[in-house]
Amino acid sequence: MGVYHAGSRTVQERLGVREQADHVGRAIGEGIKPVAAAFLELQPLLVLGAADPSTGQVWASPLSGTPGFVRATGPHRMSVAGGVPETDPLATALATPGTPVGTIALDPRTRRRMRLNGRLRPTARGFAVEAEKVFANCPKYLQRRESYEVVGDRRRGVVVRGGELGPGQAEFISAADTFFMATVHSGTAAETSHRGGNPGFVHIDSPRELSWRDYPGNSMFLTLGNLAADPRAGLLFLDWTSGTTLQLAGEAHTEFGTERRVRFTVTEVVETPSAVPLRWSAPEYSPANPEPAG
């Protein structure tokens, strides 16, 4: 399969950016270069997206560990020590050989991010991903956080599940400056991308619907291309101070108009207090962030 599938091509052609997408797409490869391998080994956080093979729902989940828990163990393989708890929506996917996964390693300290997509294989220490697509993204809309600390006595709280957003969860999202989005394509591939902006850039339209403006990016339209073919999506919101996570599963579609927007309908909600044992410093917002509409 080429760099772009029909869904991405449809969006690129609709917006008149196919030539630009072809140029940017040359940076996408199958191998993990030495600079990418070095970057992975410095990260304490990895976000993974996939479809749960038992339900078909798409989710994005965080994995954390001592730097080095994610590493390249060959030019086409990334290994991860550990995994997710049994209560995580992707626990079944991470135990299923051949699951298509999309991963993103994002470093707020340097405002760098790297994406690696491929097929998952469980291992004795965690899992490995056989790389099919590896590339870096620009720092646009990525908030800088200078440092983090590991909170050793942080304990994961009781998981709260529901079918719509409660008032506190809506406030959590309204205050967010970052979220991660997982999408899939034809059961053969998955993508996990980052979305960022000033707090308020994600709108709560109802307890079961969110929307956000799709800011200009690299013109590849991998995520929106997936949605054009398969509306399933998963969102991950992370409290960078408390470690609490909010995972949403549902469907999304893009509205093309004078302002391009993505609208997400919630079907499942999973909130986990203190899920990630990292406490990051306060953000310095990206100068590229537009001011949220009032």
Q: What is the mean pLDDT of the chain?
A: 93
Count of other CB atoms within 10 angstroms of residue 270: 21
Q: How much of the chain is in helix, strand and coil states, percent to nearest 5? A: 15, 40, 45
Q: In this structure, what is the dihedral angle of CA atoms 72, 249, 263, 239, given to the nearest 10 degrees?
A: -70
Asked whether residue 131 is assigned to any structural domain, the reply reads yes
Give the Cα separation of 194 and 179 in Å (integer).
Answer: 6
Q: Who's near 149: CB < 8 A, 6+ residues apart?
A: 278, 279
Asked whether residue 135 is assigned to any structural domain, the reply reads yes
Dihedral angle sign, alpha carbons of residues 37, 41, 42, 46:
positive
pLDDT in tens, 16-42: 777 786 776 677 788 999 999 999 999
Asked whether residue 246 is assigned to any structural domain, the reply reads yes
Asked whether residue 123 is assigned to any structural domain, the reply reads yes
Asked whether residue 133 is assigned to any structural domain, the reply reads yes
What is the predicted pLDDT for the residue at 102? 97
- Cα angle 273, 223, 123; round to 5: 60
Residue 115: what residue type? R
Asked whether residue 289 is assigned to any structural domain, the reply reads no
pLDDT in tens, 75-130: 999 999 999 999 999 999 999 999 999 999 999 999 999 999 999 999 999 999 99
Asked whether residue 129 is assigned to any structural domain, the reply reads yes
CA distances (Å), 162 to each of 165, 176, 234, 268, 294, in order?
8, 20, 15, 6, 29
Angle of the 6-14 helix axis to the 18-25 helix axis, nearest 10: 130
Of the two residues 8 and 258, the one the predictor is more confident about is 258
Asked whether residue 26 is assigned to any structural domain, the reply reads yes
What is the predicted pLDDT for the residue at 20? 80
Give the Cα separation of 268 and 247 in Å (integer).
Answer: 8
pLDDT in tens, 206-262: 999 999 998 877 767 788 888 989 999 999 999 999 999 999 999 999 999 888 999
Tell me which residue range forms the domain holding 114: 6-280
Q: What is the DSSP letter of 144?
A: B
Whether the full predicted model's pTM is greater than 0.85, yes or no, is: yes
Q: Provide the domain count of the chain.
A: 1
What is the rounded average pLDDT of the residues 183-189? Answer: 88
What is the CATH classification number for the domain harbouring 261?
2.30.110.10
pLDDT over 60 (residue 294) = no
Structure tokens at 281: 């410093």
pLDDT over 90 (residue 172) = yes
